[in-house]
Structure 1
C-alpha cells in the first residue's frame, strides 16, 4: 500500500474516479470535518422528529416498495431498518472484486456525508472504519436491476454493520462475528431510515464505472502506442495523421489520437525509408486509427464526465432537504450511468475489433519485407497464424456482450418499480469486455513487435525503439513455433501492468519530448 500523501474530506471535496481509486489503494486518506458532521447530525435529528410526529414519510414509518402505504408504528421503525438489510440480501454469483467493494464503501460514505440521507453519525463512522481498516464486505455480483438503488449488493455490503455477512480482512474471508471477536466491535442498532439510506443508491453501478474509466483509459492509451508500432512494422503511411486533415473534422478524440500517434512516429528512419513509395493508401485498420480510437476516446470522456456528477450526488431515497421538505423521488435510478456504460462497453469492444484487424493484416505478408504469418520458415511452422484465432474469438465474444443492458427493463416490486436501468449488468459487462480487449491488445503487441523486427537495422523514433526493447526483455523474437500461450500471458502482464504507458512517461521526462495535445487535460486525467 502506498504512503498516504493527502486527505479527502467526505461530503465536501469533489470526488473523481482517480481520487476514489487513490482512497481505495491507500494513497489518499479520508476524514469528516466538523461542519460535515453537524450536517449529518442535523439530518438525523430531522428523521427522529418525523418519527415523533407520526406523519407518514416513505421508508421512515412506512413499508417499502409496494408496501409504501403500510404504516409502521414508532416502536417498530428500528426493526424495519434491520429487516430491510436482511430481506434484501439476495445476491448470487461470484463475489465482486475487493477493490470494487471498497469503492462502493467509499462512494456511499461520500454520499451519506452530504447530510441529506438521515443517517446517524455513528453509522457513518463505522463505514469509515471499514474503509480505514481494509475490512471489506463480501458482495455477490448478481442481483441488482439498477434502480430503486443497487439494493441487493448494497444490502450485502452493509450486513456487517448489524453483525451479519462476511468480510475480507487481512487476506482472509471471515464472518462478521469473527471480525467482531478480533476487533472488539459490536453490531449497530440501526435507527429509522438508516437501513433504507444504506441500500438505496447507485454505488454498485458507480463503483464499476470507476473501474471502467480507469481500465478503458489504459486500454485506449496502449492501443494508440501498439497501433503506432504496427504502422512501423507494416510500413503504413503517416499522412492520415496530419493535423490539417483532422482540423476539417475536429472531433476531440480524433485530434488527440492523431497527434499522439504522429509524435510516437517522429524521427523514424522506417517512415523516411518509404516516404515516396507507390502505395496510395493503407487499409482502414491503420489509416482510420484516429477516427476509430478517437470515437472510443469520446465515449470514455462522456462516461467520465457523467460519472463525476454521480460520484458527488445524493442517490438514496427519500432525500431530507430540510425540516419542512422530505422528497421521495428517483435519484436512485441508474439510467444516467447505465446508458453511458453501454456506450463505453461498445467503445471498448471496437478497440479490440480494430486491433484484431491489424493483427490479421500483419499476417497476410503483403507488406514489403514482412513474411506471411510473421515467420520466414513456414509450412513446418504455422507462425503467428493461430494467435489471430484467439483475438477473433475474443472480439466475437465482446460483440455478443455489447447488447445494451439499458435497453431492457423488467418491472419489479409488484409494479411499483416498473422501469429499471439494468446499469448494474452494464457495468459488469463493460469490465468484462475491457478484460477481453486487454488480451487482444497483448496479442497485437506481440505481433507488432514481431513485424517491427523485420525493419532492422532501420530504427524508429525513441519511443517505439525503447518499447520494443522492453517487450524483448519478456518475449523473444520467434523464428520457429513454440507454445505461444506463454508469450501471450507475458503480453497480458505488460498490458495490465501498464508497462508501456510508464515507459512512455519516463522517456518523455528524460528526453524532454511530450505526447501532450490540446485535449490532454480532458483525455489524460480522471
Structure 2
C-alpha cells in the first residue's frame, strides 16, 4: 500500500498504483492540514470576505460577487459547465493517474476542501472506479479544466466510469459499492479542476513507457549490431569517458555487457574500419534521449507533489490568487520528451534500412527467403519510415503556442496536455518501429548463425521466436508487428545492474 502525503509521490509509486493496481492510504498529518484549510474556507464564507472562486465567479467573472446562499450552486454549475471534454477517452490507466495526482495535491492542505473529498478520491482508487475522461479540450491553463471537470463529475455521481472492465454510469458503480454522491461546498469544485493533473498523468505514464522502451531499444540495437557484424570498439569505455556525458557512458556500458560473449561482433579493421553512424553512434544518440528522460522525470515528480489550484490557502490572513495552475513546466517537458523519443525511432529506422538494403550489407536483399519472388521485409521498412516521418510532425512543440481565452483574462496558456498527448502517439510509434527492427534483426542473426550470438541477445531471440516465426515466405507482417509491439509494451528487459530511473 502506498501512503500519500502530498509531498513525496515518486514515479515509482505512480507506477505501482496506476499500472500494478496497488491501493493507497492517506497520511494522518496530511488530513490534519486538509481539515485546517477547510476551516479557513468556512470562515471566509461566514464572514463574507471576498475571495476568488469561493464567493466570486470564475475567469472573466472573477469580479462578480456570489451570495452566500449560492456558493454551493456555484461549484455545481462550475463542474457541469466546464465538462466540455471531447474526442477519444484517455486510457483507463491515465484516468487512474489523474485521480491519484489530484488526491495527492489536495493532501498538501492548501486547497480548502473537506476531508470527505480526499476520502472519496481514495475510494475511487481503491475500489477501481475510474472516471471516463475525454482526451481533448484542455488549454493547459487554468490547468486542465475540461478533463478534470469530467473527473469531478464522478464525485457528484454524474458522468461515466471505468468499472470492472466496463464503462458504466457513475451511479451504477456507486450503487454496487455502496457510495453516495457528494454535494460540493464552497471552493471544492474549483479545487478539483484547477490544476495540471491531466497533462501530468499522461506525462507520467508516458515516461514510464519511455524508460522501458529506451532499455528495449538497447537490447534490439545490440542484436542489430550482431546481424551487421558491428564493430564493438565504438563502445570502448575510454571513448565515452573522454566526452563525459553520464548517459552516453551508461548506454555504451550496457551495450558492452549485452554483447560481451558475442562471436558476431567484429573489431575495427577486421571487416571495415568504421560503422555507419546509426550503429557507431548508438551511445551518443540514445544517451541524449536518456538525458531528456532524466529532465522530464525531475519535472514530473515536482509537479506530482505541487499545489496547482487557485487560490491557495496558507493561513487565515494569507489566501492568495496566483497562477500555479499554468502548465508551462510540464508543457516544455513533454515537448522535450517528444524529441527524445522521436530520435530513438529515427535511429532505429536507419538501422532497419541497413538490415534490409542489399547495397548496405551482405545479407539477402530485404531479408527475403526468395528475393524477387518474395519481398521479405521491404515494406516493413516503408512502414517504419512512415512512422518516423509522422513523429517529426508530432514532435513540433505544443508549448510555443497560445490562444487567449475567457475574454482575454487568460491570455497565455501552455497547451501542455496537447504536448503530452502527442508524446503518447510518438511513444506508440516508436514501439512499432522497434518491433520492426527486432523482426529484421532476428532474421539477420539467423543468417549469421544463432549459435554465435551473445547469451543476452540469444535469450531475447528465443523469447520472441516463440511467437514470431522466421521469415521463410511472405505473410501478413502487420500481424507480427502488432503482436510484437503488444509484447514490448508488457515486457521489461532487465538484467543485473540495469539502472531504471522510475525505480529509484
Q: TM-score w.r.t. structure 1 length?
A: 0.93
Aligned residue for 1:292?
285
Aligned residue for 1:122?
116
Distance 1:463-1:180 versus aligned 2 partners, 3 A rule: closer
2: CA distance between counterparts of 1:468 and 1:182? 47
Distance 1:44-1:105 versus aligned 2 partners, 3 A rule: same
- Backbone CA RMSD of aligned residues: 1.7
2: CA distance between counterparts of 1:265 and 1:334? 43
Unaligned runs of 5+ in 1: 1-6, 509-513
CA distances 1:20-66 after superposition (whole Å, capped 9, x unpaired)? 12112455321123322221111000001111222211101111001
- Written as runs of structure 1 = structure 2, the 5 A alignment for 1:6-25 is 7-12=1-6, 14-25=8-19
Cα drift, residue 283 of structure 1: 0.8
Q: SS at the partner of 2:83?
A: coil
2: CA distance between counterparts of 1:327 and 1:66? 18
- Written as runs of structure 1 = structure 2, the 5 A alignment for 1:454-473 is 454-456=447-449, 458-473=451-466
- Written as runs of structure 1 = structure 2, the 5 A alignment for 1:126-525 is 126-271=120-265, 276-366=269-359, 369-375=362-368, 377-456=370-449, 458-498=451-491, 501=493, 505=494, 508=495, 514-516=496-498, 520=499, 523=501, 525=503
CA distances 1:125-171 after superposition (whole Å, capped 9, x unpaired)? 11111111111111111110001110000001110222211112222
Whether the 8 Å contact between 2:354 and 2:361 is mirrored in structure 1 is: no
Aligned residue for 1:511?
none
Cα drift, residue 489 of structure 1: 2.5
2: CA distance between counterparts of 1:10 and 1:213? 21
Match of 2:87 among 81, 84, 93: 93
2: CA distance between counterparts of 1:155 and 1:397? 31
Whether the 8 Å contact between 1:168 and 1:174 is mirrored in structure 2 is: yes
Whether the 8 Å contact between 1:409 and 1:422 is mirrored in structure 2 is: yes
CA distances 1:341-396 after superposition (whole Å, capped 9, x unpaired)? 00101111111111111001111235665222113521111121111011011111
2: CA distance between counterparts of 1:482 and 1:406? 43
The count of aligned residue pairs is 504
Q: TM-score w.r.t. structure 2 length?
A: 0.96
- Written as runs of structure 1 = structure 2, the 5 A alignment for 1:103-118 is 103-118=97-112
Name which of structure 1's ranges 474-483 and 133-142 shifts more when overlaid on structure 2: 474-483
Distance 1:246-1:130 versus aligned 2 partners, 3 A rule: same
Whether the 8 Å contact between 2:445 and 2:453 is mirrored in structure 1 is: no
Q: SS at the partner of 1:321?
A: strand
1: CA distance between counterparts of 2:20 and 2:120? 18
1: CA distance between counterparts of 2:386 and 2:300? 31
Q: SS at the partner of 2:56?
A: coil
CA distances 1:263-292 after superposition (whole Å, capped 9, x unpaired)? 1110111225x6641411111110111111
Whether the 8 Å contact between 1:162 and 1:187 is mirrored in structure 2 is: yes
Whether the 8 Å contact between 1:369 and 1:454 is mirrored in structure 2 is: no
Q: SS at the partner of 2:363?
A: coil
2: CA distance between counterparts of 1:309 and 1:338? 14
